[in-house]
Amino acid sequence: MDSQGVSEASSFESMVFQEGSETSNFDNTVDYEEDPEAEGHCFSADVESEYFHHYGPGLFHPVYIGDIYKDGRYKIEQKLGWGSSSTVWGARDLHDDKFVAIKVIESKASENDKELRILQHLRDSDLEHPGRKHIIKLLDHFYHDGVNGRHLCIVTEAAGQTLYQYVDAKDRGLPGRLDGSECRLFSRQLLLAVDFMHKCNILHGELHNSNIMFLLPDYCYYDEPCISQVTRKDGEPIGEHMPKHVVGKPRISTDHDKKKNMTFEMTVKVVDFSMSFFADELPTHVATNRSMRPPEMIIERPVSKAMDIWQLACVTYWAATRSDLFDVTYDTRTLIPQIHKVIGESSADWLLSAMIEGTKNELWKDVPPPYDFNVQQHILEKTLRLRVYHPDKNRDFWWKMTECDMKMDAEDGELSERVEKIYSERLKQQKEAAALYKPLEGRPEVARYIVMLGRYLRRMLVVDPDQRPSAEELLTEAFVQDLRLDDYVLSNLRA
């Protein structure tokens, strides 16, 4: 950003945030993150799992490997994950000999079947649309009575890794992220999924990197479950409402012999509709990831399908860079200057108007002043160049860090033969990656990719939700097009 841009940004912030003024006082949405010390902290296990205070009357149901559900149909084989109101398990459908996913919802949340109704609506839609195959498919549902109450169990096709897990597992010798061709294919499939949902009158509401998954290729498989006994720290019995043991995060392995003869085809699946809603049944309160909240949510304006488009921009940026576009840990007020700096002056009028409206309606008069203004200092295109393409001064950073870690472990006597081999392989990959460095001017394909990505993101990052483009309109963007376009996309281009 040039000096004039910095000056304008500072001026904008001084108008919006004056310490102690009403315009600076707001954080109106409760975060959905859990407090591990709330309850259940007297229990422990040796694997990472859901918080123990999620168990009790009205809460989670204790599930065990080998359990049989729905009159002998489903046998639990693996744990796939967990959230704030459910655990998700891999099970064998003994009728069809298929591996499926079963989401076991906590008892009190099972009284609301909205998620089930949304999945049924999406499954039963007669709309011919290529985005349908990128929505997790509902297969079955049933209710189960357990020690903590009655639980709704939703059976879907099983996906594999979340976007976060997929990127985290990539080993390139540099921070993991989707490369150019992967990111474009990922973005097109995700956009088609959003377009299908919106045409079915559904808003997802939580399009973040843990709710977007990839189907597991046939050459990958789950390792044996990691099981740990649950104990009380005071030695007392754990009680009937707690699980006797818990299962840790699933681990995925690769059959490399099988992989040699197979080609991986990326298939994106949007999952977890627990925070979703019908467009004609808008809720009075929406809880979502703070860093991905669109501007209209910050000032308590009604949400719409445009909310998903803003989140789509945030998750696409993360997939391309493995960093958050906006950084908010507690106080959502810090989003305002961040949005202004990332998008630029085109956002200022709407943001100021919205702030005036919020002040007039006294939305934030009882909330303390913000505690932090640690905001990004670069506009969107500049951050993309820095994140997608590593500048010359950073090209040797990663192998030097690995070399340093290797030396420190050796000095501490912690460098076993196995660990040394891992370090050596990583060091080799990182040095090879650094040796391939070329100035951006010598990489026209990367420069074109960054330009296309920047244009695609900027079209979505419009502060006024009424002016934000629809998913269908975004399908015409060059970033999500290629030679294998679906007929559906081609028909929109011809129209």
In contact, 58 and 149? CB cutoff 8 Å = yes
Q: Are 115 and 203 in contact (CB under 8 A)?
A: no
Burial (0-12, 13-18, 19+ Cβ within 10 Å), 122: buried
Bridge-partner residues for 86, per DSSP? Answer: 105
The 10 Å CB-count burial string (b at 16+, else e) for 446-482 is beebbebbbebbbbbbbbbbeebeebbebbebebbbe
Please state, in angstroms and as integers, the Cα–Cα distance from residue 214 to each residue in 78, 181, 321, 360, 495, following that order.
18, 16, 18, 46, 32
Kind of pairing, strands 212-214 and 252-254?
Answer: unpaired
Answer positive or negative: Cα dihedral of 297, 303, 308, 310.
Answer: negative
Contact 347, 340 (CB under 8 A): yes
User: What is the Cα–Cα distance from 313 to 343, expressed in whole angstroms?
Assistant: 12
What is the rounded CA–CA span in Å between residue 421 and residue 418? 5
Neighbours of 27 (CB within 10 A): 18
Residue 400 assigned to a binding site: no
Which is it for strands 231-232 and 149-157: parallel, antiparallel or unpaired?
unpaired
Say how many C-beta atoms besides its own lie within 10 A of residue 361's C-beta: 11
Q: Which residues are annotated as a binding site for ATP?
A: 103
Q: Which residues are annotated as a binding site?
A: 103
